[in-house]
């Protein structure tokens, strides 16, 4: 489990194809201190398990499914990545609960760099249906607050600290990012959809009514 508060921007050192995906070597900088084989690290929001550690560099095995469903398949040596070590029980939760399970990717539509800086993204309706106004979302592992949501796009505000201390400050229109919707919202939507699919309360509850009420 993570918080979406980026602890360091690391650098991809090597990418090697394997029989079921790829192995990434990433310079973790100070986050390598105390890291052991089997520990979890969120890399651009995707939870990965350290397979080997040497100095400041750790290697991670990434299966083909993860490569297809996230931006990790496009990693090349020299790429900068957002990093966060797994939180310990009892740690301060400065962001929101982030599992490191990427729901989908989204493309950057625009970045308005005036104050406040607004990042707008294009996404599939199945993804935006999991979001709520002023709710939380993780973009490339960064915990952010939703500003606006429509059927196929959403926006977030970026403070100067986020722009300078994460990779989001270097984004440009057309780039692709990893998205993880808030875990509580996902379970609520899943439960309500299952209830409707089973035909319960069809006379009083509909998807349209739930949307109007702001549940989905």
**Residues 189-202 pLDDT 10s:** 777 777 777 665 55
Percent residues over pLDDT 70 in the chain: 94
Task: Give the whole-angstrom CA distance, residue 101 versus residue 178.
Answer: 10
Q: How many CA atoms lie within 13 A of 90 on its CB side?
A: 0
Note whether 216 and 170 are same-domain residues.
no
Task: Evaluate whether residue 97 is within a structural domain.
Answer: no
Note whether 201 and 179 are same-domain residues.
no
Question: Structurally, how many domains does the chain consist of?
Answer: 3
According to the model, what pLDDT value does residue 81 have? 98
Nearest Cα to Cα of residue 147 among 116, 183, 185? 116
Task: Look up the CATH number of the domain holding residue 125.
Answer: 2.40.30.20
3-class secondary structure, 191: helix
Task: Give the whole-angstrom CA distance, residue 189 versus residue 28.
Answer: 36
pLDDT band at 93 (very low <50, low <70, confident <90, very high): confident
Handedness of CA 124, 129, 134, 135 (dihedral sign): negative
Note whether 152 and 201 are same-domain residues.
no
pLDDT digits (tens, 9 = 90+) for 3-25: 999 999 999 999 999 999 999 99
According to the model, what pLDDT value does residue 202 have? 53
Confidence check: pLDDT of 55 > 80: yes
Range of the domain at 188: 184-216
Decide which of 186 and 139 is more confident. 139
According to the model, what pLDDT value does residue 50 have? 98
pLDDT band at 185 (very low <50, low <70, confident <90, very high): confident
Note whether 189 and 122 are same-domain residues.
no
Note whether 188 and 178 are same-domain residues.
no
């Amino acid at each position: 489990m993570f918080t979406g508060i980026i602890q360091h921007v690391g650098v991809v050192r090597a990418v090697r194809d394997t029989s079921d995906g790829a192995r990434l070597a990433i310079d973790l900088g100070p986050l390598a201190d105390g890291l052991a084989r089997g520990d979890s690290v969120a890399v651009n929001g995707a939870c990965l398990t350290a397979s080997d550690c040497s100095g400041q560099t750790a290697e991670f095995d990434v299966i083909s499914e993860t490569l297809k469903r996230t931006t990790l398949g496009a990693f090349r040596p020299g790429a900068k990545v957002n990093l966060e070590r797994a939180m310990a029980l009892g740690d301060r939760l400065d962001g929101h609960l982030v599992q490191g399970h990427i729901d989908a990717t989204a493309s950057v539509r625009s970045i308005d760099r005036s104050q406040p800086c607004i990042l707008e993204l294009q996404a599939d309706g199945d993804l935006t249906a999991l979001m709520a106004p002023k709710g939380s979302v993780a973009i490339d592992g960064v915990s952010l607050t939703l500003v606006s949501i429509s059927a196929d796009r959403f926006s977030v505000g970026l403070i100067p600290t986020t722009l300078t201390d994460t990779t989001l400050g270097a984004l440009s229109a057309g780039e692709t990012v990893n998205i993880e919707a808030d875990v509580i919202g996902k379970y609520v939507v899943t439960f309500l959809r299952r209830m409707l699919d089973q035909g319960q309360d069809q006379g009083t509850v509909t998807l349209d009514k739930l949307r109007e009420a702001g549940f989905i």
